[in-house]
Structure 1
């Protein structure tokens, strides 16, 4: 019998996994920014981030998109980068300092309980974070409350599994080996907002209007499938969470199978992993 989904346990485990993966996610930062750069630019465009903007970044991680937002907002703007993992926020703060930015602050906050003053932000952004919130309604309600009237929310999420083989293939292998059931509708997971109608409905139900969904081809280009496996093995908290029920030998076998499967995307110019992101946006 499959145990019921426990959102609190899931969040506790998620925090622990990102505490562990923080250094690796930071270390792979140049790869992540090259991969997600086009989607990030479109997210900032859709959120209306411009000179002087006050920006709230939810599930900011190591802060690549926070820095991009701060550069757009300029010296008169401000970015508050928030995350459930204090370890990863330390890397975000250091990255901002290293970039010479004095307008980025960090704060440990649960994305479902955004303890910020209502109506104080021009834009709310979240890059590959909203999909992992068990209580998406609460997260979106908090984002909307944080925005001034007419402010914009914009989030980057994965589209459907069939368009994201670099990630969905490992997820499928681990799910089979660990005997994990697929997530039910409404439960968190990488592809939980993958179809435009689901994404649109989520924002509309939270009270946003002028909702838009734009697909962004985002192939993951690396030297080889082996490098992709190393990237995912070191820094993808969601995969670590799924592997938790396997012993060391079981995890090693899963990663070996993943490497064999991802090798289909190796070519003469290196590894090109299929990936498509969606940028979902709306007005408060």
Structure 2
């Protein structure tokens, strides 16, 4: 693997491991937030029976755990680059009594599985963060059986995802952040129209479709929103880690003002928009 890709991968691994305690703390809110996307992925994949499923970039376990609970004799292999995230996924599985899962720490660009292994692949909000998306998609189609199904989701543009830009706008106004590495992953890297459809087509997937999902982050109060973004949302967490207490407080105050001005009734529900892309081998 090229040095630049290794740098990006190592940074990703460090970032997700550092944020895994926050993900554990806010798992219920996060999973409720992302549930509409996960439901569409599952609807398209229609997992059943003895399907052998690969859930890539599983994080704290979804949609892999929900899929596992749907299978009679099947199994879900849940992979992630970060050991800390998979630890939370295993805890969630144990709490729900789900046993037909296995977790594997690995890089999506070097999947440790034989060709034609899986019936189904799911990947919720992973592609934007893969160092080499083409390599990742190539690996996915390699390990998928002929006729196998894949569904993945990515964020649409920043103008449609105020749950993220509300916080990052304040961060960017107050901080001069170091430029990302060339070609580095990012939240809205896959937002360009038909980018994912073209990527799936390029590696050989067929019967490709795409559906837009729009909903809201229902966090209720400015306090909950601030705690969520400052403990879970990677770019915000990373940026705040480079700010002193005074600057953090300034950013926090700005975000509170924006939220309270936008939602004067105190019911904070912030827009999000994502695409779910489906294909078959």
Common topology (TM > 0.5):
yes
Q: TM-score w.r.t. structure 1 length?
A: 0.89
CA offsets per residue over residues 74-129 of structure 1, 9 Å max, x none?
A: 23010011111111111111211221111010011112221112111111111111
User: Counterpart in 2 of 1:196?
Assistant: 193
CA gap 1:100/1:7 in 2 versus in 1, 3 angstroms: same
Q: What's the secondary structure of 2:190's corresponding residue?
A: coil
Report the number of matched residues: 279
User: Counterpart in 2 of 1:50?
Assistant: 48
Task: Output aligned runs, 1:103-182, within 5 Å.
Answer: 103-180=100-177
Q: TM-score w.r.t. structure 2 length?
A: 0.90
CA gap 1:207/1:230 in 2 versus in 1, 3 angstroms: same
For structure 1, list consecutive stretches of 5 or more residues without a partner in the other structure: none
CA distance in 2, matches of 1:222, 1:207: 40
- Asked whether 1:101 is paired with 2:92, we answer no
Contact preservation (8 Å) 1:54, 1:77: yes
CA gap 1:149/1:157 in 2 versus in 1, 3 angstroms: same
Over the residues paired in the alignment, what is the CA RMSD in angstroms?
Answer: 2.3
User: Counterpart in 1 of 2:24?
Assistant: 26
Contact preservation (8 Å) 1:209, 1:282: yes
CA offsets per residue over residues 216-260 of structure 1, 9 Å max, x none?
A: 112011121221111111112232234454444434433332333
Q: What's the secondary structure of 2:67's corresponding residue?
A: helix
CA distance in 1, matches of 2:131, 2:240: 19
User: Counterpart in 2 of 1:9?
Assistant: 7
CA offsets per residue over residues 191-226 of structure 1, 9 Å max, x none?
A: 111233122112222221221110111201112122
Contact preservation (8 Å) 2:217, 2:269: yes
User: Counterpart in 1 of 2:204?
Assistant: 207
CA offsets per residue over residues 163-199 of structure 1, 9 Å max, x none?
A: 1011023233323433348879964211111233122
Task: Output aligned runs, 1:174-253, within 5 Å.
Answer: 174-180=171-177, 187-253=184-250
CA distance in 1, matches of 2:43, 2:187: 23
CA gap 1:206/1:257 in 2 versus in 1, 3 angstroms: farther
CA distance in 2, matches of 1:181, 1:200: 31
1:57, distance to aligned residue in structure 2 (A): 0.9
CA distance in 1, matches of 2:229, 2:267: 17
Q: What's the secondary structure of 1:102's corresponding residue?
A: coil
1:270, distance to aligned residue in structure 2 (A): 1.0
CA offsets per residue over residues 28-86 of structure 1, 9 Å max, x none?
A: 122122211121011012223222211111111110311111112x2301001111111
User: Counterpart in 2 of 1:69?
Assistant: 67
